[in-house]
């Protein structure tokens, strides 16, 4: 089982590496969205400092969304998705593996680049590690919940907009707990409860996503 999941993850990651462009575009989008804010808000350091965490998190959500619609779409277009459904591998496992691959190719690069954006947004020193921690804990939920959205819209021609409409409201808890945890750490408060709630939401999304997404794919292919 785990071997099969690993080979699906390896396949998706290597496909994305060969394509290359997808990950680079997402990271580029992430940087550009964040750097729009100083133009909109003004370059005052203290204001940027106050909004930095929120802006980085929102930009991360949007960047994640950008690559979601390709999660099952390419497999649907070339017929691989049909074969996954017919193969002895449980579709739920395929969903989990593909969500993990999506996280590796989208969220992980965002987490690597986030500290640089933190510097640009004048994030206080105490905020850097918590930002990385919260992103590490919280972004898997984005891929899992996103996997549900991607599977719901896989057979639609213009599923991208619908996907955003469906998924963004479900991302609100990640945003709330992720930002609160970093802000609490910056303010010197105890952030444990925020971290735990964030982790709880990630685990919850990992638990429901495989079933919901697999059901959606089966219905969608009909």
Partner 1 sequence: MHKFANPARFMRLSNIVLPWITGLTILLFALGLYYSLILAPEDYQMGNTYRIIFVHVPAAYMAQFGYGVIAVSSAIGFIWKHPLADQAARATAPIGAAFTALALLTGSLWGKPMWGTYWIWDARLTSMLILFFLYLGYIAVWQAIEDQVKAAKIASIVSLVGLVNVIIIKFSVDWWNTLHQPATLMRMDGPTIGGNMLIALLLMIAAFNMFFVAVLFWRIQSLILQRRIRSLRLQLGGGLG
Partner 2 sequence: MNDSLKGQNLTCIRGDRTIFSNLEFELPEGHAVILNGSNGSGKSSLMKIIAGLLSAQNGSLSYDGHNILGNKDWISRNICYLAHKNGLKPEMTVGENLKFWASMEHHQGDVTLEARKIGIDHCLDLPVCYLSSGQARRAALTRVLCHPATIWLLDEPTVGLDVAGVELLAGLMNDHLKNGGCILAATHIELHIDPHKSTILNMADFSLKSSHASEINLGKDLL
What is the number of other CB atoms lying within 10 angstroms of the CB of residue 207? 10
Q: How many CB atoms sit inside 10 A of residue 184's CB?
A: 17
Look up tokens 């390419």; give the residue: 74
Residues between 4 and 43 that touch partner 2 (CB under 8 A): 4, 7-8, 11, 14-15, 18-19
Does the protein bind partner 1 through residue 177 (CB under 8 A)? Answer: yes
Alpha-carbon gap, residue 48 to 61, rounded angstroms: 19
- Residues 220 and 154 sit within 8 Å (Cβ to Cβ): yes
Nearest CA to 155 among 87, 97, 69?
Answer: 69
CB closer to partner 1, 48 vs 163:
163
Contacts of 133 (CB under 8 A, 6+ apart): 181, 195
- Near partner 2 by CB under 8 A: residue from 43, 78, 193, 207: 78
How far is it, in rounded angstroms, from Cα 10 to Cα 1?
Answer: 14
User: Residues, the chain, total?
Assistant: 222
- Which residue, 16 or 153, has its beta carbon nearer to partner 2? 16
Query: Could you give the CA distance from residue 14 to residue 48 in angstroms, rounded to a whole number?
Result: 38
Interface with partner 2 includes 83 (CB under 8 A)?
yes
What residue 42 binds from partner 1, partner 2, none (CB within 5 to 8 A, per partner kind)? none
- Cβ of residue 90: shortest distance to partner 2, in angstroms? 9
Q: Which is nearer to partner 2, 23 or 164 (CB)?
A: 23
DSSP string, 178-197: HHHHHHHHHHT---HHHHHH
Contact between 70 and partner 2 by CB under 8 A: the answer reads no
| Residue 158 binding partner per list partner 2, partner 1, none, with a CB distance cut-off of 5 to 8 Å that depends on partner kind | partner 1
For the bound state, the minimum distance from the C-beta of residue 8 to partner 1, rounded and expressed in Å, comes to 22
Residues 132-171, mask of contacts with partner 1 (x by CB under 8 A): ----------------x---xx-xx-xx--x--xx-xxx-
Closer to partner 2 by CB, 19 or 50: give it. Answer: 19
Question: Can you say whether the dihedral through the CA atoms of 85, 86, 90, 96 is positive or negative?
Answer: negative
Q: Which of 10, 119, 129, 208 binds partner 1 (CB under 8 A)?
A: 208
Least Å from the CB of residue 211 to partner 2: 15
Residues in contact with partner 2 by CB under 8 A are 3-4, 7-8, 11, 14-15, 18-19, 74, 77-80, 82-89, 221-222
């Amino acid at each position: 089982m785990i071997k099969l999941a690993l080979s699906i993850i390896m396949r998706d990651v290597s496909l994305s590496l060969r394509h290359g462009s997808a990950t680079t575009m997402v990271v580029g989008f992430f940087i550009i969205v964040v750097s729009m804010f100083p133009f909109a808000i003004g370059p005052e350091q203290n204001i940027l400092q106050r909004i930095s965490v929120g802006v980085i998190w929102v930009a991360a959500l949007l960047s994640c969304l950008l690559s979601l619609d390709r999660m099952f779409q390419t497999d649907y277009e070339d017929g691989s998705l049909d074969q996954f459904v017919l193969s002895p591998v449980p579709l739920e496992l395929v969903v989990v593996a593909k969500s993990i691959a999506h996280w590796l190719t989208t969220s992980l690069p965002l987490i690597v680049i986030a500290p640089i954006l933190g510097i640009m947004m004048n994030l206080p020193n105490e905020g850097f590690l918590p930002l990385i921690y919260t992103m590490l804990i919280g972004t898997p939920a984005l891929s899992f919940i996103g996997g549900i959205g991607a599977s719901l819209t896989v057979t639609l021609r213009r599923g991208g907009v619908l996907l955003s409409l469906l998924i963004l409201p479900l991302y609100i808890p990640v945003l709330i707990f992720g930002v609160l945890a970093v802000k609490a750490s910056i303010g010197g408060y105890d952030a444990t409860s925020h971290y735990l709630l964030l982790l709880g939401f990630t685990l919850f999304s990992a638990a429901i996503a495989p079933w919901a997404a697999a059901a959606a794919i089966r219905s969608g292919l009909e």
